[in-house]
Amino acid sequence: MQAAHLLTNPAVPRLFSPGAVDIADGRITWAGPSREASPMEGEAQNFDGLLMPGLINTHAHTPMVLLRGAGEGLPVSTWLTDVMWPREGRLTADDVRLAMLAGGAELLANGITTSHEMYFHSEAVANAAAELGLRAVVTPPLLVADDLASFGGWPEQLEATVEQADRWRDHELISIGFGPHSAYAVPEKPLVRVVELAQKSGMHIQIHVAEGRQEGDALRERTGLSVPAYLDRLGMLDGQVLAAHGVWLSAEDIELFAARQTAVAHCPCSNSKHASGFAPVRALRSAGVAVGLGTDGPASHDRIDLFEEMRMALRLARLAADDAGAMGPRDVLTMATVEGARALGRLDLGRLEAGCRADMIHLDVSPLYPVVEESDLLTHLVYLGSPALVKDVWIEGHQVVENGYVLTIDVAQVRAEATARARSLAGL
């Protein structure tokens, strides 16, 4: 493939104009300036615009698309207990599969090639992602709540997660981890069991950490510890852990995350919608913590759009620091690609370099004008970019979006069915 512009590594950044990429068996074999590309047999695909790594969504509840906008204006704790969990307890596996197909089509069309999903009926989530051709890390949520009793007791839920991981172990796109919801929604005994199973299996853990101020205050009153310190006492941070949100973290918490190599998924749009606070992203990254970006759920933030998340992350960081230089476009573009991959423990994603997976997006950059200096293109991409720029998407070398249209499912039919299902769930 050849393109007018090729971004191989946003962290450097390495931009070649024009550039070329060679792919074999789902992996990048070579990428660089077109003038250095080896002669090839047959005709190369040529693209105007920009080829770059696919975007990586490090924290998502995409099937919430059926509940999009529910509980508007509520703080996180009330929104969960009074609105979301009662409704989610009524969802069937068919509901979730349909919702994941609908929401997953948005992910693909919006340039997201990997999504870290936590949602109920996780087998339906995994099956839908596989049908879409989406790369997904699926972490079945573990909660202990009366509204969610239909999902069974926690021992049975954890056993089912281990069995699910075995079923998907050899799949090229889908992997399974543990998803204890949070320290406030899961008692200590099941959290300890998650730690034991993760240590035995090598599976990773995704958990909400310090999303709201109340969460930390309540736990400190009960245990005398911050949320990260409490999880560390249980041994959880000794494994591969991604902490979602990480808003209310102290300097000591940040040092602990850095020491334990705990990653963080920053969800700036969701945090701002619920007035959860300013996550200390700059301090986390300065300490060496891998910080990716997440869309959270379409009910906690209505859009599934990492372009918007990049802009919001940049602006919130500058506001929190009262410093226009606190974070730049390259920082957030890195978080949406290379650093997001590192947060998921996937060093073969987020870059278009030899040995990496061929997860790529092609963007129309004609609206990003004027480009006076080479660096302007990436700056404009962050400030002006949107899903409307996404023309083509490849995952594992297979094209899943062409000229803006998802190829793997009938999107119009899925959206019509999802709308009917959402109205039924709302009692309309």
- Give the pLDDT band (50/70/90) at residue 117: very high
Q: Which residues contact 282 (CB under 8 A, 6 or more apart)?
A: 317, 320, 321, 326, 327
Mean pLDDT of 218-231: 97
Question: Are 262 and 389 in the same domain?
Answer: no
Q: Which two tokens stand for residue 321?
A: 């620091």
- Give the pLDDT band (50/70/90) at residue 42: low
At 272-295, the pLDDT tens digits run 998 999 999 999 999 999 999 999
Question: Are 72 and 49 in the same domain?
Answer: no
- How many C-alpha atoms does 187 have within 13 Å on its Cβ side? 7
118 lies in some domain = yes
Question: Are 132 and 243 in the same domain?
Answer: yes
- Give the pLDDT band (50/70/90) at residue 144: confident
At 379-416, the pLDDT tens digits run 999 999 999 999 999 999 999 999 999 999 999 999 99
Written in H, E and C, the secondary structure of the chain is CEEEEEEEECCCCEEECCEEEEEECCEEEEEEEHHHCCCCCCCCCEEEEEEEECEEEEEECHHHHHHCCCCCCCCHHHHHHHHHHHHHCCCCHHHHHHHHHHHHHHHHHCCEEEEEECCCCHHHHHHHHHHHCCEEEECCEECCCHHHHHHCCHHHHHHHHHHHHHHHCCCCCEEECEEECECCCCCHHHHHHHHHHHHHHCCCEEEEECCCHHHHHHHHHHHCCCHHHHHHHCCHHHCCEEEEECCCCCHHHHHHHHHHCCEEEECHHHHHHCCCCCCCHHHHHHCCCCEEECCECCCCCCCCCHHHHHHHHHHHHHHHHCCCCCCCHHHHHHHCCHHHHHHCCCCCCCCCCCCCECCEEEECCCCCCCCCCHHHHHHHHHHHCCHHHEEEEEECCEEEEECCEECCCCHHHHHHHHHHHHHHHCCC
Question: Are 149 and 294 in the same domain?
Answer: yes
Question: Are 369 and 329 in the same domain?
Answer: no
Partners of 402 in beta bridges? 405
Question: Are 18 and 163 in the same domain?
Answer: no
412 lies in some domain = no
Question: Are 368 and 339 in the same domain?
Answer: no
Check if the beta carbon of residue 95 is closer than 8 Å to that of residue 330: no
Question: Are 153 and 295 in the same domain?
Answer: yes
- Give the pLDDT band (50/70/90) at residue 231: very high
Distance CA 162, CA 156 (A): 10
242 lies in some domain = yes
Mean residue pLDDT of the chain comes to 95
41 lies in some domain = yes
At 237-261, the pLDDT tens digits run 999 999 999 999 999 999 999 999 9
Question: Are 273 and 204 in the same domain?
Answer: yes
Check if the beta carbon of residue 219 is closer than 8 Å to that of residue 226: yes
- Strand-strand pairing, 174-176 and 135-138: parallel
- Percentage of the chain surpassing pLDDT 70? 98
365 lies in some domain = yes
Reply yes or no on whether the pLDDT at 81 is more than 90: no
At 329-362, the pLDDT tens digits run 999 999 999 999 999 999 999 999 999 999 999 9
User: What was the pLDDT predicted at 151?
Assistant: 75
Q: What is the largest CA-CA distance in the chain?
A: 68
| Residue whose token pair is 């990586």 | 56
User: What was the pLDDT predicted at 147?
Assistant: 61
Check if the beta carbon of residue 171 is closer than 8 Å to that of residue 136: no
**Residue 264 sits in which domain range?**
55-343
417 lies in some domain = no
- Give the pLDDT band (50/70/90) at residue 101: very high
What CATH number is associated with residue 185? Answer: 3.20.20.140
What CATH number is associated with residue 376? Answer: 2.30.40.10
Question: Are 22 and 159 in the same domain?
Answer: no
Question: Are 75 and 153 in the same domain?
Answer: yes
Q: Is the pTM of this model over 0.85?
A: yes
- Give the pLDDT band (50/70/90) at residue 150: low
Question: Are 167 and 277 in the same domain?
Answer: yes
Structural domain total, the chain: 2
409 lies in some domain = no
7 lies in some domain = yes
Mean pLDDT of 58-85: 89
